[in-house]
Amino acid sequence: MSRMRLPFLLAATLVAGLAGSAAAQGTACTTPNDPACNHLKCYQISDKPSTVISKTPIVQVDNQFGREVLFRLQPVLLCVPSQKACCNATGCSVANCRPNPVTAPGLPHFKCYKIKAKTCPNGDCTTLANFTKGKIAVNLLDQFGQELNVAVGKPVILCAPVLKQVVGVSSTTTTQTVPTSTTVTTSTTTLPCHDVAQPGTPPMCAGSCPPGSGLQCVFIPSAGTCNCEIPCAMQGTTCNNQFCPNATQQCVSNAVIPCGCCNLPGASCTAGSDCCSGTCNTPPGTCM
């Protein structure tokens, strides 16, 4: 089967790898991060203005299979949280489904990009290499059955959490763009909100949120992910105690900071005003 057909086969189908128990039938999955909506159903999209093609890396990605750099981002799928009921002769019901091998939380929406990537065999990406087919094998178990010794090929899709607003039917796509840092591109684009921290370090969020939404790319402690949410700011005469872009920060109002993201104890600092406590131990430059 051709890899080029993958986005079309996934469109309007279930991504079983994120399977979980579905809730009662009839829920429209409109509530953000609804625990019952822990499957993803993906639809084909066309967003040509935001496609990026570069001769130099534009994104670095780290996971359990290693470190990679991406040279192409082409939007192809919109994946929405969904719930599942299994069908037989008596009808469709959650009770008809096999037991879940994993417990999955509620999911945000995802925008998925077809990618072109190379691996970083030495970890620092000073040397790049093509992927070796069949180098990694995994066993997979979900509600539809078990597969053994499945060969993991080259990466083809990158999905990022996305804020979605339904505005009706449109024949065109309008994309707010800003110049990228790459020197060779087919267009300009905004990179989605994502975690840019190095492996083994606390999450640090960066990226763009929908223009005019009033949201910023911040770290959500309860979800452990970066997302577009209400940022830390003054609200009238008090601090709204919302979210900050760094996992080592807290939105507070105190004698040092009227309202802002200050560093928690143990985080790096250069002055007392960087720290929620008001005290920076220098050297080595850590908040007390």
User: Could you tell me which residues come within 8 angstroms of residue 128 by beta carbon, excluding any fewer than 6 positions away?
Assistant: 69, 118, 119, 120
Q: What are the phi and psi torsion angles at 253 (to 5°)?
A: -130, 115
The rounded distance, in Å, linking the Cα atoms of 95 and 85 is 8
The rounded distance, in Å, linking the Cα atoms of 264 and 266 is 6
Taking alpha carbons only, the member of 174, 169, 180, 179 closest to residue 58 is 180
Task: DSSP letter for 71, please.
Answer: E
Walk along the chain (288 residues) in steps of 10 and give the mean pLDDT of each run.
36 36 51 81 88 90 90 93 89 85 82 93 88 84 88 91 75 48 38 81 85 84 85 86 91 80 88 85 81
Q: DSSP of 20-64, one letter per residue? A: ----STT----STT-TT--EEEEEE---GGG-EE-SS--EEEEET
Residue keyed to tokens 């078990």: 146
The whole-model pTM stands at 0.52
**DSSP reduced 3-state for 5:** helix
pLDDT of residue 174: 53
pLDDT of residue 168: 65
Question: What residues are paired with 39 via a beta bridge?
Answer: 82
